[in-house]
Amino acid sequence: MSATSTQELNIKTTDEDFLPLEGTDYVEFYVGNAKQAAMFYKAAFGFESVAYAGPETGQKDKVSYVIRQHKLTFVLTTSLRPDTLISEHVNKHGDGVKVLALRTKDAKDAWEQTTKRGGKSYLAPVTLSDEDGEVVMSGIHTYGETVHLFIERKNYRGAFMPGFRKWNSVFKPEGTGLLYVDHCVGNVGWNQMNPWVKYYEDVMGFKNILSFDDKDISTEYSALMSKVMSNGNGYVKFPINEPAEGKKKSQVEEYLDFYNGEGVQHIAIATHDIISTVTELKKRGVEFLPIPASYYEDLLDRVGHIDEDLKPLKELGILVDRDDEGYLLQIFSRPLQDRPTLFFEFIQRKGAKSFGKGNFKALFEALEREQDARGNL
Ligand code: FE2
C-alpha cells in the first residue's frame, strides 16, 4: 500500500520560514554510565571518538563523551553526583534522549522567534568561546522532559564546542555506513498528539506532512495514531505518536509506563546501503525485531520491482515499502537499554519520502510478540 495514497506530502521550502534549520546537530542521551555507553555505540555502531568533557576539563559534576559517524553525532552524558537533574532524569526514565539539538545560523533569533510564539525557554541564548572560536546556543522545552537546543557553530573550528577537549582514543572501529538522522519520533500521552502537533506548528513553524489514524496503525490487538511534523526544508522531521484504544495495550502505552512519561521513541538513521549496514550491525551484536518469513512471500507483488535481491533482505529482516515517489528499505532494532523504551530504525530511501506505512502491520505484530514476552501486552 502506498503511504501517500490518502494524503499528499507537502514538504516545500518557504521564504517565510521564521526558524530556518540546517538539520540535526546532535542527539544527547542522559545515561547511567557514559563511558560504557560510548564504548557500546563505538563498538556496535562504528562511531568515532570526537570530544570529551569532565572533571579534567573543568566540568566537576558530569562527564560527556561525543561520538560521530558521518553527520550523525551522539553525546552521552552521566552525572557524577546523585542530587542532580541528570541523575533524576536517569532514575526516572532510564537511559534516554534528553536533547534533540538543531543546527541554525542564528541561535539567538531561533530562541526569540520560538519563545515569543509560546515556546517555554529551557536555555536563554548563551555564547561559549575558547581559542577555537565561539558557539551560540539556546533552547526550548518540548514533550516530556525532552528539549530542543538551537546550535550556531558557524564561528567554531574546534572538535565539538567550548568546554570539550578532543578525545583521542586508540580504539577505532570501522564505521557501519550510518549517515545522519532521518527522523526522530516522540511518544506522547493519551489525547496529546494534536496539542503537540499544534505546538510544532505554532512555535516552530513546522507543517503536518502525513497523518496516520488508528485504522492505519492497528493490529488485531493494539493501536496508535501518528502525525509527522516537518520543518520548511524537510531536514528535520518529527513524527508524534499517541496510544489508541485496542483490545490490548498499545506499544506507546508500554513505552509511557516504562519511560515514566513522554519521550523519544526511536531515532531513524539513514544509510546508503542498508544490507551492508545491517549485516555489520548484526555481526557486532545489535538485535533487530524478527520478521516472519511470510512477510516476504508476496513482498514483490506489493512493492513491485526493487534493485536488491530478496534473499539478503529476508535473511536480515529488512522491510520494504513504496510510495508515489519511490521506495524505502527499513529495519527496527530492539530497545537498546533494559527498559522497553528507545530503539533505532535504519532506513535507506530510494526516492520515497514517506515512513513505511505498508509495513506498519508487520512491524507492530513483531513488536507485540516482544511486548507479550515481557508480559506487557
Ligand atoms: Fe520511523
- What is the per-residue pLDDT across 18-37, written as a single tens digit (0 to 9) for each? 999 999 999 999 999 999 99
Q: How far is the CA of 19 from the centre of ligand 1 (A)?
A: 24
Instruction: Tell me: do 121 and 270 sit in the same domain.
Output: no
193 and 339 together in one domain: yes
User: Is the domain of 368 the same as that of 244?
Assistant: yes
Measured in angstroms, how far is the CA atom of residue 356 from the centroid of ligand 1?
8
Report how far ligand 1's centroid is from the alpha carbon of 354 (Å): 9
Number of domains comprising the chain: 2
CA 185 to ligand 1 centroid distance, Å: 7
To the nearest whole number, what is the mean pLDDT of the chain? 93
Cα(331) to centroid of ligand 1, in Å? 9
State whether 77 and 140 are in the same domain.
Answer: yes
Cell of 235: 531536514
Lowest average pLDDT, out of 98-102, 133-137, 223-227, goes to: 223-227
Residue 363 Cα to ligand 1 midpoint, Å, equals 11
Residues 92, 143, single domain; the answer is yes
Please check whether residues 182 and 246 belong to one and the same domain: yes
Instruction: Collapse the DSSP code of 291 into the 3-class scheme (helix H, G, I; strand E, B; otherwise coil) and give the result.
Output: coil
Please give the residue range of the domain that contains residue 142. Answer: 24-166
Instruction: Report the DSSP pairing between strands 96-103 and 48-53.
Output: unpaired
Residue at which a domain ends, from 166, 199, 218:
166
| 228 and 351 co-located in one domain | yes
Residue 212: per-residue pLDDT: 86
- The CA–CA distances, whole Å, from 72 to 91, 107, 158, 169, 258 equal 27, 20, 17, 19, 27
pLDDT tens-digit map of 238-297: 999 999 888 788 889 999 999 999 999 999 999 999 999 999 999 999 999 999 888 999
**CA 139 to ligand 1 center in whole angstroms:** 24
Tell me the C-alpha distance between 177 and 237, whole Å: 21
Contacting residues for 345 by C-beta, under 8 A, at least 6 apart: 182, 266, 267, 268, 269, 330, 331, 332, 333
Tell whether the model's pLDDT for residue 365 goes beyond 90. no
In angstroms, rounded to a whole number, what is the distance separating the alpha carbons of residues 226 and 265?
12
In three-state secondary structure terms, 56 is: helix
Residues 152 and 207 in one domain: no
Alpha-carbon gap, residue 12 to 282, rounded angstroms: 37
Predicted confidence at residue 15, as pLDDT, reads 57
Angle at 37 between CA 35 and CA 42, to 5 degrees: 95
Whether 7 is in a domain gets the answer no
Residue 217 CA to ligand 1 center (angstroms) comes to 13
Of 111, 139, 166, the last residue of a domain is: 166
Radius of gyration of the chain (CA): 20
Would you say how long the chain is, in residues?
377
The answer on pLDDT for 52 being more than 80 is yes
- pLDDT band for 325, please (50, 70, 90 cuts): very high
Residues 246, 276, single domain; the answer is yes
CA of 184 to the centre of ligand 1 (A): 7
Q: What does the alpha-carbon distance between residue 354 and residue 319 come to, in Å, rounded to a whole number?
A: 14
Q: Which of 166, 189, 210 is the last residue of a domain?
A: 166
Predicted confidence (pLDDT) at residue 189 exceeds the cutoff of 50:
yes
Asked if pLDDT for residue 13 goes beyond 60, the answer is: no
Residue 274 corresponds to which cell in the numbers above?
542498508
140 and 240 housed in the same domain: no
| % of the chain with per-residue pLDDT over 70 | 96
**Domain containing 238 — which CATH number?**
3.10.180.10
CA of 77 to the centre of ligand 1 (A): 24
